[in-house]
Structure 1
Amino acid sequence: MSQPLEYSSYPFNGHDEFCLRAGSHHQKTILFIPPLFDEMNRVRRMIVGTMRLLNEHAIGSILPDLPGTNESLFPLEQASLTIWRNALAHCAEPLAKQLYVASFRGGCLIDDFAVESRKWRLAPAKGPGLLRTMMRTRMASDKEAGLATDMTQLAEEAQRGHVNLAGNHIGPKMFAELQDTVPMSSGSIRTAQLTNSNQAADVKLSGSALWLRAEPDDDPQLAKAIADDLLSWVAQ
């Protein structure tokens, strides 16, 4: 039987943000950075499965809520990539000096909070691509409602306050940061892609692109493939 996950928190901006932990007593801990926005919910169950598998092999892990997401009381329209990086730095502070960071998709945009740390990335996404996808989703939704919306209008809406994109309230700073942010090459990086991807990678993993699903789902095969690769990576 797998050990239950622990509910914990980390201090940020005068209040506590929640996080999940597995194996907090282990010497080595991996900080997981989930995908951003709607992709986050689609992949969360698989990440939790990965955490359980790592715990069985004496590797701890922590999955923080970013301010404005999940159980956080922080207003999402006030969040930005910069704020999320700062929050991750606060979450990582109590961990061991040798920090391991595993990020997924858009999470790779904010793993540079720990410049010199070893990083593991799955299917890194660029900010402009994430932004365009959310804008197209909003435009398609507006079209079904009989409204004509284009990207210029959405950008202007974001500048006036915040814009609702795929159910996410995106403020001016977040919108601007997403327009020109790509994963930073810093520290030692191992990049993983799915086997059907044509993107360059250090390793190809078998599994499904859960972030493309319409609803949250799970993929135990991918969770095991990720856990196995992380175990070998941490052991290096």
Structure 2
Amino acid sequence: MRKMLVDVMRSLEVLDIGSFLLDLPGTNESLLPLEQATLSDWQNAIQACAAQHQISHIISFRGGALAVSAMQDSRHWIFSPVKGAQILRTMMRAKVAADKESGRNTSLADLYAQAAAGPLELAGNIIGPELFAQLNTAEIPDMRNQRIVRLETDNKPGDVSIDGPALWLRAEPDDNPAMSSAIAGDIAAWAVS
């Protein structure tokens, strides 16, 4: 996904639209360990960044929409939004499958119990109990000024569909230049509308 985001940003630059991808608390170069980060931390960081840079257009992908729910005054372009519980279930199913291949018998109930008691490693990320609990109840926000974009294969309601694969479900990193270009084109049209 990060590769796709960078490709979209480069395409936007060619279209004379500036953008930046911020690191949230607990991610990438952050000094805060991920197991200490919360969804509230992410929401506060995005709001502070938007205020500092006077940003009025927010682009969110997948679970990123969960971190902008309090920003009702901004314009929102949201790609394939998903509930926090769905993100967690996908990561937990992957862990159950990986554990099974390693000869360990883990259930979703086991993982929920572990997450309530302490940090839990899912998909290479160590998620603390507070972030897990917040994500588990996080709903897709309904923003006043939003554009919902979905993949053509997605049957959920949206404002526009884009052809391409669900790169976030790939076991190995991949990209799709045509999809990245289509996303950038839709963002550019939306940004000036």
Q: Distance in 1 between matches of 2:62 and 2:102?
A: 30
One of 69, 77, 80 as aligned partner of 1:123: 80
Structure 1 position 172 matched with structure 2 position 133: no
| Corresponding residue of 2:154 | 197
TM-score, normalised relative to structure 2: 0.94
Counterpart CA distance in 1 for 2:14 and 2:92 is 41
- Counterparts of 1:153-172 in structure 2 under 5 Å? 153-172=110-129
Unaligned runs of 5+ in 2: none
Q: Which amino acid aligns with 2:24?
A: L
**Aligned AA for 1:152?**
A
Q: In structure 1, what is the Cα distance between the partners aligned to 2:54 and 2:135?
A: 31
Following superposition, the deviation at residue 96 of structure 1 comes to 2.6
Q: Give deviations 1:32-71, integer Å, cap 9, x for gaps.
A: xxxxxxxxxxx11111111111112221101011111122
In 2, the alpha carbon distance for the partners of 1:144 and 1:163 equals 19
Among 66, 83, 91, the residue aligned to 2:49: 91
For the residue of structure 2 that corresponds to 1:60, the secondary structure is coil
Give the equivalent residue in structure 1 for 2:143. 186
Distance 2:148 2:175 in 1: 21
Give the SS at the match of 1:93. Answer: helix
* C-alpha distance in structure 1 between counterparts of 2:4 and 2:105, whole Å: 37
Which residue of the other structure, out of 197, 211, 217, is the alignment partner of 2:168? 211
Shift of 1:109: 1.0
Instruction: Provide the rounded CA distance (Å) in 1 between the counterparts of 2:73 and 2:143.
Output: 7
User: Where does the alignment leave 5 or more consecutive residues of structure 1 unmatched?
Assistant: 1-42
Matched-pair contact (CA < 8 Å) for 2:72–2:145: no
Contact kept? 1:88, 1:113, Cα under 8 Å: no
More helix by share: 2
TM-score (norm 1): 0.78
Q: Considering fraction of residues, name the structure with more strand.
A: 1
Partner of 1:137: 94
Poorly superposed stretches of 4+, deviation over 4 Å: none
Task: Please give the secondary structure, in 1, of the residue aligned with 2:104.
Answer: coil
Q: Work out which structure has the larger RCO, using CA pairs closer than 8 Å and 6 or more positions apart in sequence.
A: 2
> Using the alignment, how far apart are the partners of 2:122 and 2:66 within structure 1?
19
